[in-house]
Amino acid sequence: MRASGRALLWTGVLVGLVACGGPQPPEPGDAAAADGAPASKLDISLPSVTVSGDESAQVVEAWTPPEVPIDDDTDRAALRRQAEAALRRGDLYEDAEAAAPIYLALVRSDGDDRLARDGLRRTTAAVLAAADRALDAAAIDPQSGALAQAVALAAVARALATDDAKVRELQARVELARRAAALVHAGREDLRAGVLDGSGALGWFQEALALSPGHRDARQGLAAVESALIDRAQSAADAVEFDAAGRWLDQAASVRGDGAGAVADARARIEAQRARNIAGLRDAALRDLLRPNGLRDARVRLAEVLRIAHPGDPVAANLRERIDLVTYYGPFRPGQVFTDALADGSRGPQMVVVPHGGFRMGAEETDPLASDAEKPAHYVRFNRGFAMSLTEVTVAEFGRFVASAGARPRATRRGNSLVYDERSGNFVRRSGVDWRSGYDGRPAGPGDPVLHVSVRDAEAYAAWLSEQTGRHYRLPSEAEFEYAMRAGNPGRYPWGDAGVPPPDSGNFTGGNDMSPSGRTWNNAFVGYGDGYWGVAPAGRFKPNAWGLHDMAGNVAEWVADCWHASYKRAPADGAAWFNPGCRARVVRGGSWAGSPAQTRAAFRLRVDSDVTSARIGFRVVRGI
């Protein structure tokens, strides 16, 4: 479309070329010249039109000199004086009393009139000088009308001295000025029409400057294009379309080198506007997060922030993090440790927030120690974080439940439980053992993990804790337990694939451990020792990457799931796989008396729900 417009522009110029020319010579055979003088007296080369097909030819409009009658009775001397006086006044060509028409008529009527020819030469020089002044004036003020005067003077000069080099040079300058003026005019038309790019106003003004460097109107046109582009950028910013505003500003910056200041100011202004919009949306979103059910509105505002913000904007990143925290963790943060108050003013167990995410649960086919019950390995994802107690529930914590609820745990009612017998090196049932007892039947310390509790005792404790705190406590699901035990590690063991635990990582069956009577383990981690034969106080060893202690050792732990012989059709969302009325339950994690194979992250054990033992305890989780 724009190329067609340019073609029309240059077609108009060429039409002018064909129409141009000076006074035409008489046709051969004419009886008289154009001024009525005999043809035999003409001794001057008159201008003529030649159409060469060269579109670069520089031709201006023709000038037809006013008629000055001359015959045999004419007082030529008087005419020369009249012409000289007109030349001095600067009356060069406008009418029959001006210098150029008179001198031209005198020379045409008598080519030997030396004085007339000299006057014509001086008049031509005056016309050239006047044209130079007009071109200079037009360059200073293209709207002054000086260009039209220069065009007329160039036509006169061409009629007076067609082959003069200075006249040809003037013609070229006038034509260049006319072309630049036409380009500027086209640029203004497109500027008014709102066509600003390189195929519109910008292109026209740039072409004009290429022809005439420093052309005032072309430079002003570029400034106007730049200003219009800045206005468009501001309008886009006002419509909260900051990417579009940036594109308009980039175009404005490319218009002219000396416009960098205006564009930079506009860019700073629009960026400040962007920042205000983002800050307002952030503040509104944070208020939304404080309202019940305000999360959806906050996410809508976040989407708008991300749309208008630059990639990597710190305010947008912070808002996304805040919304993600509420989405996945409520009022908490991953890794945060907290306790809930009980009804009597004491505190519940310490809890740590486990991050949301996913993992591959179960044993891989490449694990030679895996059983069919640990397969198939499958992907589980938690769409929200949860809180898990830092350690196993301790004797002191369980004792508060028994005292407050008047509970009678299973071993207490039954009157016995399984304990380790140092004399035989075996596990035996012993009377008088319950939750207050240690692994060997002797009284347990208040900070030891509670033992000799059934899964229903553990569930009763979680229910009591929920009543006391007003929060929902429960046993972890099997998936939650393995996810938290791995803490992001996909290896065979919770610490990776190495066959020996890292130092001080837990209470395991180590080859360096020894019982009070000097016994050692037949099946143990070679070269490892933790200093304990039996249960260690809760939290004695280093936590894992998520801040949890004793997940893989010390005591095995009850989880909420019923026993299933494999993971076929197991939940993929991490929920407990529970069948009402089931008696066979799942125990997870290694213990102080478990083999290395039982310390693997995927190991799971089938245990009757009524079993109490010196190797099984539990911990709790809570929703957030």
pLDDT in tens, 595-617: 999 999 999 999 999 999 999 99
- The percent of residues in the chain predicted with pLDDT above 70, rounded, is 90
- Cβ-contact 520, 514 below 8 angstroms: yes
Cα torsion 102, 103, 108, 109: sign: positive
**Lowest-confidence segment of 20-34, 187-201, 536-550 by average pLDDT:** 20-34
**How many whole angstroms separate alpha carbon 624 and alpha carbon 326?**
10
Asked whether residue 35 carries a pLDDT value surpassing 90, the answer given is no
What residue segments make up the domains of the chain, in order of their start?
Answer: 2-162, 272-329, 351-409+448-623
pLDDT reported for residue 510: 96
**How many whole angstroms separate alpha carbon 335 and alpha carbon 330?**
13
Least Cα distance to 204 among 38, 64, 6 occurs for 6
User: What are the two backbone dihedrals, phi and then psi, of residue 129, each rounded to the nearest 5 degrees?
Assistant: -65, -40
What is the 8-class DSSP label of residue 255? Answer: T
* Cis before 502 (ω within 30): no
Tell which phi-psi region holds residue 342, choosing left (phi > 0), alpha (psi between -120 and 50) or beta: beta
**How many whole angstroms separate alpha carbon 364 and alpha carbon 372?**
10
**How many whole angstroms separate alpha carbon 575 and alpha carbon 106?**
116
Asked whether residue 7 carries a pLDDT value surpassing 70, the answer given is no
pLDDT reported for residue 142: 76
Q: Which amino acid is at 440?
A: D
What is the DSSP code string of 17-78?
HHH---PPPPPTT-SB-TTS-BGGG--S--------S-TT--------PPP----TT--HHH
Provide mean pLDDT across the span 292-320: 95
- Cβ-count burial of 269 within 10 angstroms (0-12 exposed, 13-18 middle, 19+ buried)? middle
**Helix, coil or strand: residue 429:** strand
Whole-angstrom Cα Rg for the chain: 51
**Helix, coil or strand: residue 157:** helix
What is the DSSP code string of 470-535?
SS-EEPPPHHHHHHHHHTT--SSBTTBS-SSPPTTS----BTT---TTS---SS-BTT---S-SSP
Residue with tokens 């069919």: 372
- Cβ-contact 480, 497 below 8 angstroms: no
pLDDT reported for residue 259: 61
**How many whole angstroms separate alpha carbon 409 and alpha carbon 393?**
15
What is the 8-class DSSP label of residue 510? Answer: B
Provide mean pLDDT across the span 476-501: 96
CA angle 296, 300, 304 (to 5 degrees): 165
What token pair was written down for 235?
């309008």
Look over the chain and give the mean of its residue pLDDT values, rounded to a whole number.
Answer: 89
pLDDT reported for residue 258: 63
Which residues lie below 8 Å from residue 207, measured CB to CB, with a gap of 6+?
A: 183
What token pair was written down for 26?
């008489």
Angle between helices 201-211 and 165-193 (to 10 degrees): 160
**How many whole angstroms separate alpha carbon 384 and alpha carbon 442?**
42
CA distances, 613 to each of 87, 382, 439, 452, 524 (Å): 131, 31, 8, 5, 21
**Lowest-confidence segment of 21-30, 150-159, 309-318 by average pLDDT:** 21-30
- Cβ-contact 352, 331 below 8 angstroms: no
pLDDT in tens, 548-573: 999 999 999 999 999 999 999 999 99
- The percent of residues in the chain predicted with pLDDT above 90, rounded, is 80
**Helix, coil or strand: residue 513:** coil
Asked whether residue 530 carries a pLDDT value surpassing 70, the answer given is yes
Asked whether residue 402 carries a pLDDT value surpassing 90, the answer given is yes
- What is the model's pTM? 0.64
Confidence of residue 55 (pLDDT cuts 50, 70, 90): very low
Asked whether residue 45 carries a pLDDT value surpassing 90, the answer given is no
What is the longest distance spanned by two Cα atoms in the chain? 162
pLDDT reported for residue 39: 34
Residue with tokens 């006047």: 130
- Cβ-contact 430, 613 below 8 angstroms: no
What token pair was written down for 519?
């016994």
**How many whole angstroms separate alpha carbon 609 and alpha carbon 587?**
10
**How many whole angstroms separate alpha carbon 227 and alpha carbon 209?**
18
Q: Which amino acid is at 351?
A: M
**How many whole angstroms separate alpha carbon 219 and alpha carbon 389?**
74
The secondary structure element, H or E, covering residue 290 is helix 260-290
CA 428 to chain CA centroid, nearest Å:
67
pLDDT in tens, 217-259: 899 999 999 999 999 999 999 999 999 999 999 999 999 876 6
Please say whether the structural domain 351-409+448-623 has been given the CATH code 3.40.109.10: no
